[in-house]
Amino acid sequence: MPKAKYSGGNNLDKFFLDVEEVNSDLKELDRLCHSLQVSHDKSKTLHNAKEVKELKDKMDSDVSKALKTAKRVKGNLQALDRSNEVNRSLPESGPGSSSDRQRMAVVNGLRKKLKDAMDHFMRVRETISTDYRDTIHRLYFTVTGENPDEDTVDHLISTGESETFLQKAIQEQGRGRILDTINEIQERHDAVKDIEKSLNELHQVFLDMAVLVQSQGEQLDTIEDSLKRTNTIIRSGADQLVKARFYQKNTRKWTCYAVLILIIIVVLVVLFTVKPWENNNGGGGGSNRQATPVQAQPPPSQARRLLR
């Protein structure tokens, strides 16, 4: 059962503890894979059935541990995915938020490490499978004295008739060096067959996780692409907003200029229509002064009579 629990919410401390646990398991997978490779290389130099069997037991143990660790990694990654889903339902932590991007980037990094470990195991598996074919080839040659073609080797492996060849060789060959060789081949055959079976089971677990890695990786790529498009749109919108503000300021400025010019024109029209300066000049000489009436002078004769 996976130890990682829901680390929903913004509890990044719990989240990174779960991440560290997965990292530790991934390192253990690398160690087991390296140990399996070393053991397999060593098996090529052994020619004693007992030593081959002891090494086979060690390789079986490594593959069994790797299988358990891989299943635990798978469960923990799925638990981290569920915790990320819970986190996205919280305010300010939805898809595309900084918190969501951080968590997804970390989990995606774990998946990349897992993929590297899977590829490493697959290379070791292919090497062991190739050497298994060589063992069957040696067995066939020991029993029949003939070199089998590829189809014959494939048939022996797929049908399990290599077991029959082993029993036949043990029955027909006498004791001594040849029997020791047969026993050595049998141990190698049993070792590789059991390890191949465990590796196939491990391979199936890896295939299941490969689908998980691919789907989540595509989801992250989709989110990243959406974020890039969103950022592009936001930047474009910001640029358009800056331009709009610039045009708005220019429009206001020119509107003010136009209003000011219009006011000046209106004032000038009024001034030239009323012509207040002409009224001021004419009134200065006598517009405000009243004319004094001139009395008529009496005729001279009347004046003389009056003097008398």
Q: Do 89 and 73 contact (CB within 8 A), yes or no?
A: no
The 10s digit of each residue's pLDDT in 99-126 is 888 888 898 888 888 888 888 888 888 8
Comparison of pLDDT for 129 and 79, the residue scoring more? 79
Q: Is residue 21 over pLDDT 90?
A: yes
Structure tokens at 155: 């048939």
Q: How confident is the model at residue 234 (pLDDT cuts 50, 70, 90)?
A: low
Q: Among 23-37, 141-155, 190-204, which stretch is predicted with the lowest mean pLDDT?
A: 190-204
CA distance 240 to 242: 5
Of 116, 75, 126, 108, nearest to 217 (Cα)? 108
Q: Is residue 218 over pLDDT 60?
A: no
Please state, in angstroms and as integers, the Cα–Cα distance from residue 108 to each residue in 115, 194, 202, 266, following that order.
10, 33, 21, 73
Of 81, 84, 73, 72, nearest to 8 (Cα)? 84
Q: How confident is the model at residue 154 (pLDDT cuts 50, 70, 90)?
A: confident
Structure tokens at 307: 């003097």
Q: Among 127-141, 193-207, 208-222, which stretch is predicted with the lowest mean pLDDT?
A: 208-222
Q: What is the pLDDT of residue 186?
A: 67
Q: Residue 276's Cα: distance from chain center in Å?
A: 81
Structure tokens at 89: 């339902």
The 10s digit of each residue's pLDDT in 55-99 is 888 988 998 899 899 889 989 988 998 888 888 888 877 887 888
Q: What mean pLDDT, rounded, does the chain reach?
A: 74
Q: What percent of the chain has pLDDT over 90?
A: 9
CA distance 153 to 204: 24
Q: Among 104-118, 142-156, 206-220, which stretch is predicted with the lowest mean pLDDT?
A: 206-220
Look up the CATH number of domain 12-242. 1.20.58.70
Comparison of pLDDT for 140 and 59, the residue scoring more? 59
Comparison of pLDDT for 186 and 140, the residue scoring more? 140
Q: How confident is the model at residue 25 (pLDDT cuts 50, 70, 90)?
A: very high
Q: Domain residue spans in the chain?
A: 12-242
Comparison of pLDDT for 71 and 212, the residue scoring more? 71
Q: How confident is the model at residue 185 (pLDDT cuts 50, 70, 90)?
A: low
Comparison of pLDDT for 250 and 148, the residue scoring more? 148
Q: What is the pLDDT of residue 298?
A: 56
Q: Do 107 and 206 contact (CB within 8 A), yes or no?
A: no
Q: Is residue 12 over pLDDT 90?
A: no
Q: What is the dihedral of CA 115, 118, 122, 124, to 10 degrees?
A: 120
